[in-house]
Copies of this chain bind each other. A is one copy, B any other.
Amino acid sequence: MISTLRQGYEARLASLAKDDGANPFASNPFAQGAAYVRGEIVPADEAMVPLFDLGFLRSDLTYDVPAVWDGRFFRLDDHLARLERSCAKLRLTPPLSTPRIREMLIELVRKTGIRDAYVDVIVTRGRMKTGVRDPRQAEAAIYAFVVPYIWIMPLAVQETGGSAIVTRDARRTPPGSMDPTVKNLQWGDLTRGFFEAFDRGASLPLLPDADGNVTEGCYNVFAVHDGVLTTPGRGVLEGVTRLTAVEIARAEGWSVSLTDVPVGSLYTADEIFLSSTAGGIMPITTLDGAPVGGGQVGPVTRRIWERYWDLHSDPKLSFAVDYG
């Protein structure tokens, strides 16, 4: 199943890069990615943000990341609904309405010709008069970019599963400081976690909270014990891929509990997997250097993985981009 998905994906990547005169995208300045800044579309590499944008000077922003797979946007409206909720929680009024953001993102993907795309839309507080400390006086700004699909865990690694650690050094920022249901780029704790993971010979960090429960990385996490799935019910992003995984698991007849997941329970799990738009369903087969369950990708993870990618062609959850 992974090999089939991978073949199709790699064939699309190769055809995008082909320059035989018949490929309209070979000379496309946006073929490596495009960005929307100040109402204009520019090659991704050239996209700039004003230094005085509070998105930079205060990380005062929220964002969302829908993806396009095989030319189809997946659950775009779920991502846009979450973006709306995030903006409301931050008291941010985006300079474009949700339908206009939707159009803009589709247009951006269309312009790149990229058929497997990572789509990032960011709403910032924008600029305010220098020295003013009142965020109500700022005018919100919006940025977006489309680049080739990003794999937090490379597809090749997904075949046998990746390695994670529970961080000892970094704890997830608590909701009372920064609400994690507002998708944000205050990645200080996560970056610290990535450094610790690399230092300890692993690839991906999982951050605990102060109560001894696991939270998330830049992805949600699921544990499987005797066919029962658990995933943190609070203090984490309400991931769209997490939702999809929950829906799939329940449709398959497995019980899923959104609840506190004690760190200790990860070490007795039969299976662990991560979920994120950037990589999908990512099996973890090594935790803190030791095998998870039998050390192989387990049957629950494998089944959810398969259904997850199948759903990307389901017209109820996806629609085709008209690349013209």
Q: Give A contacts to B, CB under 8 Å.
A: 33, 35, 37, 44-45, 47-52, 55-60, 90-91, 118, 125, 130-131, 133-136, 143, 145, 147-148, 150-152, 170-174, 176-178, 184-191, 194-195, 198, 210, 218, 278
Instruction: Choose among B33, B44, B151, B178 the residue that contacts A188 (Cβ–Cβ < 8 A).
Output: B178
- Give 9 pairs: A residue, B residue, CB < 8 Å, sorted on A: A44-B51, A44-B130, A47-B50, A48-B50, A51-B143, A59-B188, A118-B131, A130-B147, A177-B189
> What B residues does A185 contact at CB under 8 A?
56-59
A118 to B315, CA, bound (A): 55
* A177–B184 CB distance below 8 A: no
Using A47-B50, A51-B145, A177-B171 as known contacts, say yes or no to A191 and B135 having CB atoms under 8 A apart: yes
> What B residues does A176 contact at CB under 8 A?
170-171, 210
Using A173-B178, A177-B173 as known contacts, say yes or no to A47 and B52 having CB atoms under 8 A apart: yes
Min distance, Cβ A90 to any Cβ of chain B, angstroms: 8
Using A173-B173, A188-B184 as known contacts, say yes or no to A135 and B194 having CB atoms under 8 A apart: yes
* B194–A133 CB distance below 8 A: yes
* B49–A56 CB distance below 8 A: yes
